[in-house]
Amino acid sequence: MLSEMRKKRREDMSPRKLFPATPELSFRPEIEACPQCGNVMNVLKTTKRTAFTMGIGKFVARETHLHCTRCRETGRCEDLRRLLPFKSKYGYDVLVYVGKSLYLRSLKEKTVAYKLRSASIEISENEIRYLGRKFVAYLGICHGQSQLKIRLAMARKGGYILHI
């Protein structure tokens, strides 16, 4: 009984129910002046792309690109960069979900695709395989960048056990 109530509550709060029409979100850089020369930034162009995140589901991201006419510096929205990888339509949260599902929970691509579709995220099995490989690459980069912090943490705790 309790699990049925939780399931119903989850369905009521699904992105599909919250946003019956695909929402369009605007993203604009926070900067008004060029960081190089201080000149006022002008609108270069506005782009639209369909994106997917776990919290929102499907949405259209409308991004305004700015540029400086004096030194040709361009400005993009940091909020969108934190949400989506460059030229990707799936958010970092979807990438992490796919990586954990494939490598920690040992789920098949078909199962992950089904679970994501139930969260209003349209994705193919090929895209899931690609995101899984991308997850491993990002994880390697993250470990490389954190190498010093990891070594310091292990030294503080007295090392680590290799074999028992």
- Could you tell me which of 71, 89, 72 has the C-alpha nearest to residue 80? 89
Q: What is the pLDDT of residue 69?
A: 85
Q: What is the pLDDT of residue 9?
A: 58
Q: What is the pLDDT of residue 160?
A: 77
Under 8 Å between Cβ of 49 and 60: yes
Q: What is the pLDDT of residue 1?
A: 58
Q: Provide the whole-model pTM.
A: 0.76
* pLDDT tens-place values along the chain, 164 residues long: 556 655 555 556 665 566 568 888 899 988 888 878 888 888 888 999 999 999 888 999 999 999 888 888 888 888 989 999 988 999 999 999 999 999 999 999 999 999 999 888 989 999 999 999 999 999 999 999 999 998 898 889 888 777 76
Which residue intervals of 13-91 are DSSP H helices?
Answer: 15-18, 78-83
Which residue intervals of the chain are DSSP H helices?
Answer: 2-12, 15-18, 78-83, 92-103, 109-118, 125-145, 147-156
Instruction: Please state the domain extents for the chain.
Output: 1-85, 90-157
Q: What is the pLDDT of residue 77?
A: 86
Q: What is the pLDDT of residue 141?
A: 94
**CA 151/CA 135 separation, integer angstroms:** 23
